[in-house]
Structure 1
Amino acid sequence: MAQEREADGPVPPVVAFDFDGTLTVKDSYTAFLKWRTPKGAWILGGLKLVPAALAYLVHRDRGRIKAAATKVYLAGVGRERLEADAREFAALHSRSLLRPDAVIAWKRWRKERVRLVIVTASPDIVVAPFARGLGADDLLGTPLHFDERGRVSGAFASPNCRGPEKVERLRAAFGPDLRVRAAYGDTSGDTEMLAIAEEPYFRVFAGKP
């Protein structure tokens, strides 16, 4: 969505938070996949992913190995089923996943006139319940591709939301007048987003639930 002027002035600046490792203590998508997959199927899936893991050592493309894991563990799952699973996962695990000091910083920004945005490489459908729980104004994540019957195909509907793609997604959402008041991240996948922030914060959260 493009920025629009509000009745009392321009749209507030953005405060962008990476999700996995920044707001959370670990990768939420891997935790979600493991949670919803029976132990035997999880182990079998891991064996199927060995070729993709070996290929990753060469290409270092996290999006490709994530897509491979999505195909192994989620292909054929319906959108409604996946959304329900994501809601249940967030309800059960938000307290054990979210960093308390990160949440405190989030709530502090909530008191200012800014747009709080989660920008994540994880599938948006999985992060959405967490975003709603935090009261995020926007969520920019990696969208999964669904076939004509509404089932996960195992591919992404757009590029993996990591690195330069995070900036592209922010600009696509908020237009050429994008102003990033602050950004928080914890890996090289956040470098470009941090570079456009007036206040870049790298690995400033270390709290554990």
Structure 2
Amino acid sequence: MKSNLALFDFDGTITDADTFTEFVLFATPKWRLALGLVLIWPVILAFKLGWLPAARTRPIVAKVAFWHRSVAKVNAQAQAYVEHRLPQIVRPQAARRLDYHRSCGDRIIVVSASLSPYLEIWCDEQQLELLCSRLSKSKGQSGSRYSGSYETGDCSGQRKVEFINCAVNLDDYEQVFAYGDTDEDLPMLELADQAYLRWQPYQRGKKEGS
């Protein structure tokens, strides 16, 4: 008998907060935040005005926040973020649904546009698989550093489908479940036999507002 597959978005679905932004503010020195704001304020303004999509904004913000940062230091901050902040913002409903899929023996994958340093730690602790926006690393005389760039792009929208299809064969599963909360998750929800948008049943092929 085939098993089931459960695909979970992270920000706004498993959590009730925007962890991408929180972690950038948590892990970035104040001087770098100030300098970054000076450098990319037009990008932030364009995003706030709806002229620039989040999928294009996030990589720019990540580049400013994590370029040439020590992997060891950023990962230590990621550990602290996971320990002290994430338990406060994980939705009880999400925790129960994750437990349900575990009890059924389903394969569970978190599919997120948020960043690898803290998501890897949290998913490892929760014994969950992860597909996400991964920060690339480089090695130099001063040790491993994050480049600030993404290894394989921003894991959102149609890219979520590409990440999933590279990792799994959906035909191997009896049923596919998917959980999301924004338009960026709709392509992933369209893959599922049972899909949920903001924890309500989602009808495949139905766009928000229609």
Short-chain TM bin: 0.7 to 0.9
Measured in 2, the distance between the counterparts of 1:78 and 1:37 equals: 11
**Would you say how many aligned residue pairs link Structure 1 and Structure 2?**
195
- 1:84-125 per-position Cα deviation (integer Å, ceiling 9, x unaligned): 221111011122121111111111111002101100001222
Check if 1:17 corresponds to 2:16.
Answer: no
- Mark the CA change 1:106 to 1:112 in structure 2 (over 3 Å): closer, same or farther: same
1:194 to 176, 189, 192: 189
Deviation for aligned residue 1:41 = 4.2
Counterpart of 1:169 in structure 2 is 163
Check if 1:204 corresponds to 2:199.
Answer: yes
Measured in 1, the distance between the counterparts of 2:105 and 2:125 equals: 19
- 1:118-172 per-position Cα deviation (integer Å, ceiling 9, x unaligned): 0000122221122123221x10001112234331222111121101111111111
Measured in 1, the distance between the counterparts of 2:198 and 2:72 equals: 35
Scaled by the length of structure 2, what TM-score is found? 0.83
Deviation for aligned residue 1:45 = 2.8
Query: Given that residues 53 and 65 in structure 1 are in contact (C-alpha distance below 8 angstroms), is that contact kept between their aligned partners in structure 2?
Result: yes
Measured in 2, the distance between the counterparts of 1:178 and 1:70 equals: 35
Query: Given that residues 163 and 189 in structure 1 are in contact (C-alpha distance below 8 angstroms), is that contact kept between their aligned partners in structure 2?
Result: yes
Scaled by the length of structure 1, what TM-score is found? 0.84
Gaps of 5+ in 1: 1-8
Measured in 2, the distance between the counterparts of 1:173 and 1:111 equals: 23
Aligned amino acid, residue 21 of structure 1: G
Measured in 2, the distance between the counterparts of 1:70 and 1:184 equals: 25
Measured in 2, the distance between the counterparts of 1:121 and 1:64 equals: 11
Gaps of 5+ in 2: 201-210
Deviation for aligned residue 1:174 = 1.0
Aligned amino acid, residue 5 of structure 2: V
Aligned amino acid, residue 117 of structure 2: I
Q: Could you tell me the percent identity over the aligned residues?
A: 29
Across the aligned residues of Structure 1 and Structure 2, the Cα RMSD in angstroms comes to 2.1
Measured in 2, the distance between the counterparts of 1:158 and 1:63 equals: 13
Secondary structure (helix, strand or coil) at the match of 2:62 reads helix
Counterpart of 2:25 in structure 1 is 34
Query: Given that residues 29 and 126 in structure 1 are in contact (C-alpha distance below 8 angstroms), is that contact kept between their aligned partners in structure 2?
Result: no
1:181 to 171, 176, 180: 176
Deviation for aligned residue 1:32 = 1.0
Counterpart mapping for 1:73-152 below 5 A: 73-136=65-128, 138-149=129-140, 150-152=144-146
Query: Given that residues 163 and 191 in structure 1 are in contact (C-alpha distance below 8 angstroms), is that contact kept between their aligned partners in structure 2?
Result: yes
Measured in 1, the distance between the counterparts of 2:177 and 2:186 equals: 13
Measured in 2, the distance between the counterparts of 1:43 and 1:55 equals: 18
Measured in 1, the distance between the counterparts of 2:121 and 2:41 equals: 31
- 1:162-186 per-position Cα deviation (integer Å, ceiling 9, x unaligned): 0111111111111363545211000
Query: Given that residues 171 and 178 in structure 1 are in contact (C-alpha distance below 8 angstroms), is that contact kept between their aligned partners in structure 2?
Result: no
Counterpart mapping for 1:61-76 below 5 A: 61-76=53-68
Secondary structure (helix, strand or coil) at the match of 2:121 reads helix
Deviation for aligned residue 1:72 = 1.6
